A and B are shown apart, each in its own frame.
Chain A
Amino acid sequence: MAERLLDVEGLSVQFATEDGLVRAVDGVSFELERGQVLGIVGESGSGKSVTAMTIMGLTRGVNARFEGSVHYQGKDLLQISDTEMQDYRGNEIGMIFQDPMTSLNPVYRVGEQIVEAIQAHEDVDKRSARRRSVELLRQVGIPNPETRVDDFPHQFSGGMRQRAMIAMALSCNPAILIADEPTTALDVTIQAQIVELIGRLKDDFNSAVIMITHDLGVVADIADEILVMYAGRVVERASTRDLFYDPQMPYTWGLLGSIPRLDRPRPERLYSIEGAPPSLINMPKGCKFRPRCPHAFDKCMEEPRLEQRVEAAGHLDRCWLDVEYKRAHRDAMISGESTEAA
């Protein structure tokens, strides 16, 4: 077995707000091994970004409450002090944010920003930090890095800025790279380049990757395992193949059916999950997906636990429906031909 890097157990994050307690993340558990790519998929507000930011120690604040543990190589990142956390953030765990347009500082040169990141963690002089920056920019595929290192962010295109962000996240050789919607703001062609780059760099740097996205298509050919999140919970967890070929949660079916697919005949209508995700302050009783689920029945008033209900080991879900019933009825939602429940 490969080296275990991260062990998240029963992680819950709550924020006290004027309107009430926001249960952003509720009982999330997963493990990450060196060399592994974990995909976290869900809609806006499903808690996927809060999970990632909590691992990075970015949700610490007076109004935040945590439960559970986040063990990185044996150390619980939730228990250490803010100063200690700084040694992990960037050094051991790097993060790429969604919007490359706003996550670089527009008044500093790209190179200066990478140099700053390197010098914040390592005791090196400016010269060698700069040399490292050029090398990093080359590794992420920026042409003429020797001159481009002195450009300002506005002189870079969207794809190049995202590459620069990746270079910065990799500057201290982190063991874990968290990519939060790294391709959402980009063109499909650039998207393909960035996904390929992340996969390649993972091998070059011998690290692990957590890839967060709302689009299952993006993680299909890069992730080893996928967590589907809904209303702060993991509702399905499986190896990538099991998730795509034997999905157990109606929510996962809905996500799959929402994608206009090139590899299948065009359906008359796409499946669309009716309604909106529940408010995290006032959650529905029982299964959180029940109000939007076309297959909901009486038992769904009681919340199902995340457990294994199919043959494949490690394939967990939160759905009361009978496995055989699901296998017989899910295609209508996945292929989007009809929106009615059978």
Chain B
Amino acid sequence: MSTNGAGAPLIELRHIKKYFPINKGVLQREVARVHAVDDVSLAVREGETVGLVGESGCGKSTLGRTIVRLLEPTDGQILFRGQQIEELGPRRLRPLRREMQMVFQDPYASLNPRKRVGSIIGDPLKIHSIGDKSQRKATVEQLLEAVGLSPEHYNRFPHEFSGGQRQRIGIARALALRPKLIIADEPVSALDVSIQSQMLNLLEDLQNEFQLTYVFIAHDLGVVRHVSDRIAVMYLGKIVELSPAEELYERPIMPYTEALLSAVPIPDPDLARKRERIVLEGDVPSPINPPSGCRFHPRCRYATQVCKEIEPPLTDYGNGHLAACHHPLNVDAATLAAATVSRQTPRSAGEEAKPRDTSGSSDPVRGDAGSS
């Protein structure tokens, strides 16, 4: 947790789209497109942690990879410290690679099993020709200590480590080049809860020590709340709600957020039995042919005719809390009247379709969800 609010954007996304073509037949003609990320605008300020949440297939990982240009955006602009980077060639991109690093989900698959820990962490330094051999070794040993491993692990192989320790190696590798921005893609999802808490505390310590900016991707709102300053909820390639962390839990506006919150298990048997779970039926629809209007409408319990026809714009409810919904929750009449359509809204959304009514209040964490 770090300074909230202040600071210029370190990275800014403007109307980013990432479509994957589906080719078929002998001529490999494009027959359809997967709309993995569909017009997302988001600014991440220096020193802040932005959580990116959603179910599998919502485009959160694709967005993360597009930010660091592991994937090329189909359309839109990426600005790093105000400099446009989406069209830079590999050579001009290289110095920027030092500033942006990734931590991956699966600690078993993301480390080369045939390399020693020393070279896994040290290779980024070698590629960017930083220091000589002995300096690099010293740096790697410092990094091992910073992530809670011991310098003696330098010559070991990944298989000699547990899942949690491997994830620490992955973090040390990401830190090697002293980046400003780290995209952590589900860094704790594959770990036991006890190891998960060690890892979350470690990421927090490292943020203070190295002045890092995080984009933290996860499907678990409990984990995301613990690390984030702001949270963006994604559904089928779009940001449907963006809010300061605590506010998202106190008053979710988008019904999808409400459902996600109510799915998080609560380690309190009486409360867990009392609260109503909004179980979302079915899986996320196919991003090849996303539903019309609001993409969440087929699974939404408040959906009406307008939701099927018009895509709701991302509306600003004040205090940096944005949501895209025709029937917002937890919004009073005054706030609704003062709300304006955000600049970050997707271009395809109905600008004039600002929501007119609310769906009442809801507290999906402590129970009594959705009294309309």
Contact = CB atoms under 8 A, between A and B. Distances in A.
Interface of A: 43-44, 143, 157-160, 187-193, 195-196, 214-218, 220-221, 240-241, 244-245, 254-263, 266, 268-273, 276, 336
A262 B268 CA distance: 11
Contacts of A266: 225-226, 246
B222 A220 contact: no
Contacts of A254: 194
B193 A215 contact: yes
Contacts of B279: 189, 192-193, 196
A188 B193 contact: no
Nearest to B259: A189
Interface string B219-261: 1111101100000000000000000001001000000000111
A280 to B, nearest CB: 13
B282 interface: yes
Interface in B1-21: 1
Given A159-B283, A263-B268, A270 B201 contact: yes
Contacts of A44: 162-163, 192
30 contacts: A43-B192, A43-B195, A44-B163, A157-B56, A157-B283, A188-B221, A188-B263, A188-B265, A189-B263, A192-B262, A193-B279, A193-B280, A214-B192, A217-B266, A220-B268, A221-B265, A221-B272, A244-B267, A256-B267, A259-B193, A259-B222, A260-B200, A262-B249, A262-B365, A266-B226, A269-B201, A269-B204, A271-B197, A272-B201, A276-B162
Contacts of B226: 260, 266, 270
Contacts of A190: 55, 283
B265 A218 contact: yes
Nearest to B256: A189
Most A CB contacts (10 A, CB to CB) among B192, B200, B221, B246 go to: B192
Contact of A262 (B198, B222, B280): B222
A42 to B, nearest CB: 9
A221 B269 contact: yes
B164 to A, nearest CB: 8
A214 B223 CA distance: 15
B271 interface: yes
Contacts of A221: 265-266, 269, 272-273
Contacts, number: 128
B102 to A, nearest CB: 21
Interface residues of B, number: 47
A98 to B, nearest CB: 11
A189 B267 contact: no
B142 interface: no
B196 interface: yes
B270 interface: yes
B87 to A, nearest CB: 34
Contacts of A255: 193-194
B303 to A, nearest CB: 17
Nearest to B219: A187
A272 B194 contact: yes
Interface string B265-298: 1111111110001011011000000000000000
B310 interface: no
Contacts of A192: 262-263, 265, 277, 279
B269 A240 contact: yes
Nearest to B272: A221
B266 A220 contact: yes
Contacts of A261: 222, 266-267
B349 interface: no
Nearest to B299: A189
Contacts of B262: 192
A217 B223 CA distance: 13
B79 interface: no
